Amino acid sequence: MSWIRRREICILLYVIPAAIILINHFSGSLGPVTSEIILWASTLATFAILLGVISLFQHHLTVLARQRRGWPYSIILLASFLTTFAFNYIYPTAYDFIINRLLASLQMALLAYVGFYSYTLFFRASGTKNPYVLVLLVAILLGLFYNLPMRDVIWTGWGPLGKWVNDVPNTGGMNALLIGVGIGTLALFIRTILGYEEAYLGG
Amino acid sequence: MLRPLALPFPIEEPTRKAYELLEKVPKGGVIVLVSDEGFPSWAELGPGEIAVYRHAFRKVKQDGCKVIMLTCYEIAGMILGERALSYVDLTGLKYGEDWVQLGFIPGYEAVLAGMIKDLKSIAPVDKFGTPTKDIPMLKNINSIDDYDFLYACTYTAMDVYIRQWGEAALARGVPIVINMLSGTVPLAMPYYRAGTLSAYLNSVIGGAGYEMLIGQPGMGVALLDAQSTAHLLAIGLIIFVQGIFTVRFMTRRR
């Protein structure tokens, strides 16, 4: 069965569906097959979640068995996972409480912490004599004023000025960036179908 | 919270456009609502999400439109979409005939690509396990040819939606509206200027504007005072620190 692990087989598994989708995109002649492949992608994503859960358990059970650094956190993680999973089927009210009250609040609090981090950054890192950083600070100020809900109370010009920055320099820069990304994606695709790209094969 | 400032705020042009596009959905039209936000983004995206849901279901009541809800990024999106739905008055509406919840379908870009080609193939059952082929509302709805309005709420890169929907939607004249974080608006600008992205809601300010347009001020308008003061603090800190730094620098040079 060693042939199944051959590099060519893995590349073919990528190239054949990609070619079918590409041909259908330009000709429209392989519609049903393309739909089936896209459905497979969704099904595979479901299995990927299962694979993720298995890997999670493998990793944390190993941490516990070998009592590696931070092993008590593994107990908390596995207990949280199993409790949430079980509640979803046996006691949905508790599951809703965990998701809506605990998880949602904790994740929001975590993001709020990033806010405080940003303000510390504004206070500690704003002072500069580097002209490039000064340009960046001016751009930040413009962005902040443009997104300030009460901007018109301070000066009615912030709206048109911010809109111009958004529409002209920003759009130009972003267009260039997107074209670069597009060309890069195309190059990556060609490298992959020709077998030069091996990162996705674990190479 | 203790004393609301109730300062005026501008309703941005993309917000107004988003409202007008949903308002223009014809009688019996199909509105697709994709909720791909996460819990951390709820404070920013929630106001817009709730306002769009309220408007969409108002269209269901007034013009007999149909709503399809789904999530494809992470399960939190489905939970938050349903949270937005809890703000909507569903009296008189029937599940399966007026609206349908397809739930969380893993696969993200594959799902976005699939839903415009063959919805029933990527969603064989709805959130409650009912086969989609047996849902009366979906009898004649299966691809972008049947949709009239595409909406997504995302807290990650918005270009994913344009990549998968843009070409087909533009060819058929189906508007795409995205509710996104302020940080991703610059990325959206090329698509907006090119017309691939029809309109967008810029975080809280977009959500608050939409609330005003539908005549139901809520969480967005309430959050604007907090956003104003937070922005002013940031502006103040930058100017203050740079001012002190410049004065010190000049004094040392002398």
Judging contacts by C-beta atoms under 8 Å, the chain B residues touching residue A108 are 39-40, 42-43
- Rounded Cα distance between A55 and B70, Å, is 28
pLDDT at B47: 95
Q: Is the pLDDT of residue A25 over 70?
A: yes
Judging contacts by C-beta atoms under 8 Å, the chain B residues touching residue A129 are 245, 249
Contact (CB<8Å) B193/A150:
no
- Rounded Cα distance between B251 and B254, Å, is 5
Q: Is the pLDDT of residue B171 over 70?
A: yes
Average pLDDT score over residue span A125-146: 83
For residue A3, the cross-strand partners are none
Contact (CB<8Å) A128/B237:
no
For residue B117, give how far its alpha carbon lies from the nearest alpha carbon of chain A (Å). 7
Judging contacts by C-beta atoms under 8 Å, the chain A residues touching residue B40 are 107-108, 110-111
Quick one: what percent of chain A has pLDDT higher than 70? 99
Q: Is the pLDDT of residue B99 over 70?
A: yes
Q: Is the pLDDT of residue A128 over 80?
A: no
Q: What is the pLDDT of residues A170-198, one digit of tens each?
A: 889 999 999 999 999 999 988 888 888 87
Using CA coordinates, name the residue in chain A closest to B181. A147
For residue A176, give how far its alpha carbon lies from the nearest alpha carbon of chain B (Å). 10
Contact (CB<8Å) A107/B239:
no
Question: Long-range contacts: A153-157, Cβ < 8 Å, 24+?
Answer: A153/B7, A153/B8
Best of A26, A164, A174 to disrupt the B interface (most B CBs within 10 Å) is: A174
Average pLDDT score over residue span A148-155: 86
pLDDT at B206: 94
Confidence of residue B78 (pLDDT cuts 50, 70, 90): very high
Q: Is the pLDDT of residue A29 over 90?
A: no
Nearest by CB to A119, from B10, B106, B233: name it: B233
pLDDT at A163: 85
pLDDT mean across residues, chain A: 87
pLDDT at B4: 61
Nearest by CB to A170, from B41, B106, B189: name it: B189
Q: Is the pLDDT of residue A123 over 80?
A: no
Nearest by CB to A145, from B8, B204, B235: name it: B235
A106 HSE (CA, 13 A, CB side): 7
Judging contacts by C-beta atoms under 8 Å, the chain B residues touching residue A48 are 106
Judging contacts by C-beta atoms under 8 Å, the chain A residues touching residue B121 are 35-36, 38-39
Q: What is the pLDDT of residues B192-209, one digit of tens each?
A: 989 999 999 999 999 999
Residue pairs spanning A and B at CB distance below 8 A = 142
Q: What is the largest CA-CA distance in chain B?
A: 83
Residues 6+ positions from B122 with CB-CB distance below 8 Å? A38, A39, A42, B105, B107, B110, B111, B114, B115
Residues 6+ positions from B138 with CB-CB distance below 8 Å? B68, B100, B119, B120, B132
pLDDT at A162: 85
Q: Which helix (H) or strand (E) holds B70?
A: strand B66-71
Average pLDDT score over residue span B86-108: 94
- 3-state secondary structure at position B100: strand
Best of B122, B202, B219, B248 to disrupt the A interface (most A CBs within 10 Å) is: B122
For residue B120, give how far its alpha carbon lies from the nearest alpha carbon of chain A (Å). 10
CATH 3.30.70: does it fit domain B13-253?
no
For residue B80, give how far its alpha carbon lies from the nearest alpha carbon of chain A (Å). 9
Contact (CB<8Å) A104/B42:
yes
User: Which region among A39-43, A59-63, B109-113, B160-164 has the lowest average model confidence (pLDDT)?
Assistant: A39-43
Domain boundaries along the sequence of chain B: 13-253
- Rounded Cα distance between B45 and B205, Å, is 10
Q: What is the pLDDT of residues B28-53, one digit of tens each?
A: 999 999 999 999 899 899 999 999 99
pTM score above 0.90 = no
Judging contacts by C-beta atoms under 8 Å, the chain B residues touching residue A122 are 234, 237-238, 241
Q: Is the pLDDT of residue A86 over 70?
A: yes
Nearest by CB to A35, from B117, B224, B238: name it: B117
Q: Look up tokens 């919805």; give the residue.
A: B119
pLDDT at A132: 86
Confidence of residue B230 (pLDDT cuts 50, 70, 90): confident
